Amino acid sequence: MKIQLNGAWRELTASPQTAAAPTLTAMLRVCGYGGATVATAVNGEFVPARARDELHLQDGDRVEVLAPMQGG
Amino acid sequence: MGMLRLYDSEVASRLLLGTARYPSPAILEESVRASGADVVTVSLRREGAQLRAGQGFWSLVRSFGVRVLPNTAGCHSVKEAITTAHMARELFDTRWIKLEVIGEDDTLQPDVFGLLEAARLLIQEDFQVLPYCTEDLVVAERLLSAGCRVLMPWGAPIGSGRGLNNVFGLRALRAHFPTVPLIVDAGIGTPSHAAAALELGFDAVLINTAVAQARDPVAMARALALAVEAGRTAYLAGAIPARDMAAPSTPVIGQAFVP
């Protein structure tokens, strides 16, 4: 399946154990965000950190991964 | 000087500082210290998995020991601003949000209709909203009715350094809402602009570009802190009214008659 991660298309594979679509938590780990302080949104809706384990991504999902940045 | 009240918090410094556009993280850090700011604004942006730029920035800001005020900069719609506010609340662990809904790209003027709608929704969700607004009295009244307890009218367009474009309007806003904390946000270019805002009775100023892009940001942060203190002290001291004709300051009684 393909998702759009911070605006760029990216291929994701289903979990080898369960063949289920990867969760948001799994996607963050696979894509290199493990341990990072980030906030997430899927298809324009905020997904709290506590809900990431339950959220299975779907083909074509738009995922935003944001972090603290300089601001005025 | 008294404390600046922002919802259920009080802070000592009346200079709030932005963290963007500094020449380096070290200069940002020194500028924050020189400004004496108790509150700095931050934002959130897409994080690259390789660079992880946001992680280093966040450790730096946490080391300052100041409160953070996250913004929704760059949001042009209510939906975007709401989603960004939710992400900011989790990321920065604060109910404060500097709510920006931009309506026009040349002036970065607030979309006051979208701003009001977003403020209503966020207040229902227990946010403490600090709206970036104009000096329009009706908009201010509506924002306050929606539950905003602080207003942040612009002085001039963001980053323009033009100071207080509409002194009459700002003075009217101050007079209409004498007890609401009012912060001039955007447009301050020099210490004299900042002092003028405080002399008008505004409770604080929020400044970024004037410091970050100065030739010597650290020195400018210090100059602005002094100006804010001078302006506030002058406001409390009560300035004389301006007049058109001269009034001799040296007593004329007993003056020698020299033909």
Task: With a cut of 80, say whether residue B258 has pLDDT above it.
Answer: no
| Dist. CA B157–CA B144, nearest whole Å | 23
**Mean per-residue pLDDT for B91-119?**
96
Kindly report, residue by residue over A17-59, the tens digit of the pLDDT: 777 889 999 999 999 998 899 999 999 999 999 999 999 999 9
pLDDT in the model for residue A15: 67
| Distance of residue B246 Cα from the nearest chain A Cα, in angstroms | 44
Contact B92 A65 (CB under 8 A): no
Q: Please determine, for residue A7, whether its predicted confidence score (pLDDT) is greater than 90.
A: yes
Residue with tokens 């938590």: A25
Average pLDDT over residues B78-82: 96
Structure tokens at B154: 């612009």
- Chain A residues with CB within 8 Å of chain B CB: 6-7, 31-33, 36-41, 44-46, 48-49, 64-72
**Mean pLDDT over each residue of chain B, to the nearest integer:** 95
CA distances from B194 to A64, B130, B180 (A): 37, 19, 19
**Least CB–CB distance from A70: residue in B47, B57, B206:** B57
Spatial CA neighbour of B100 closest among B68, B67, B78, B125: B78
Give B22 to chain A, closest Cα distance, Å: 9
Band of the pLDDT at A13, cuts 50, 70, 90? confident
The total number of residues written for chain B in this structure? 259
The H or E element containing residue A61 is none
How confident is the model over B194-205, as pLDDT tens digits? 999 999 999 999
Q: Which two tokens stand for residue B25?
A: 């993280």
Query: In which element (H, E) is residue B204 found?
Result: strand B204-207
Residue B12 has pLDDT above 90, yes or no: yes
In this prediction, residues B172-198 reach a mean pLDDT of 97
pLDDT for the residue numbered A21: 86
Whether residue B91 and residue A38 make contact (CB cut-off 8 A), yes or no, is yes
**Residues forming a β-bridge with B200:** none
pLDDT exceeds cutoff 90 at A16: no
Residues of B in contact with A66 (CB under 8 A): 44-47, 54, 87, 91
pLDDT tens-place string over residues B27-47 = 999 999 999 999 999 999 999
Q: Which pLDDT band holds residue B250 (cuts at 50, 70, 90)?
A: confident
pLDDT tens track for B124-140: 999 999 999 999 999 99
Q: What is the Cα gyration radius of chain A?
A: 12
For the cut 90, the answer to whether the pLDDT of residue B183 exceeds it is yes
